[in-house]
Amino acid sequence: MKIEFTINGVLQSVEIEDSNTPLLWVVRDVLNLKGTKFGCGKAACGACTLHVDDEAVRSCSYAVKFAEGKQITTIEGLGSPQDPHPVQQAWIEEVVPQCGYCQPGFMMATAALLNKKPNPSDEDIDNNIVNVCRCATYYRMRKAIHRAAELTQETNLKTQENV
């Protein structure tokens, strides 16, 4: 069957035999966007986190059929080296990644959190950022999340000034 959705701003139409195939594998293997990672396949680690209509979703456990007509963003669409998302900027400033494998999932989860809570408390972070990082980069991640919140506010202020 044919499924259509917008991913990183581009309308995509994919032909897929089994519409229950996890979105993760369509993103990785059909659309060849490898930034979204496979860690467990059971919604237990968060490595596969991306955004569906601005909500953080664990794509390994999200059937592609539910993506029909939706807006999807992956790490590749979050920002670019020329124009990094505040979360990516903060991750660079705090030098968060070690092996790096879990990081796209964490950044996507953080970006979704900041959409809802622009200035999250430590408790908000603890309750909402529940992915697993085996290299245990949590200490820097927490700093980076606070920094990303600051950066977002700075950008918002600037935009307001410009308006």
Q: Which of other proteins, ligand FES, none is residue 58 near (CB under 5 to 8 Å by kind)?
A: ligand FES
Rule CB under 6 A: is residue 103 a binding residue for ligand FES? yes
Nearest distance, CB of residue 102 and ligand FES, angstroms: 3
135 binds ligand FES (CB under 6 A): yes
* Residue 6 near ligand FES by CB under 6 A: no
* Pairing, β 10-15 against β 55-58: unpaired
Q: How far is the CB of 160 from other proteins (least distance, A)?
A: 27
Rounded CA separation 156/46 (Å): 28
Q: Which one of the spans 73-81, 97-105, 107-115, 118-126 is the region binding ligand FES (CB under 6 A)? A: 97-105
State the residues that interact with other proteins by CB under 8 A.
17-18, 21-22, 25, 29, 32-42, 44-45, 47, 74-76, 79-81, 84, 88, 91-92, 95-104, 107, 122, 125-127, 129-142
Binding residues for ligand FES (CB under 6 A): 38-41, 43-48, 58, 60, 97-103, 133-135, 137
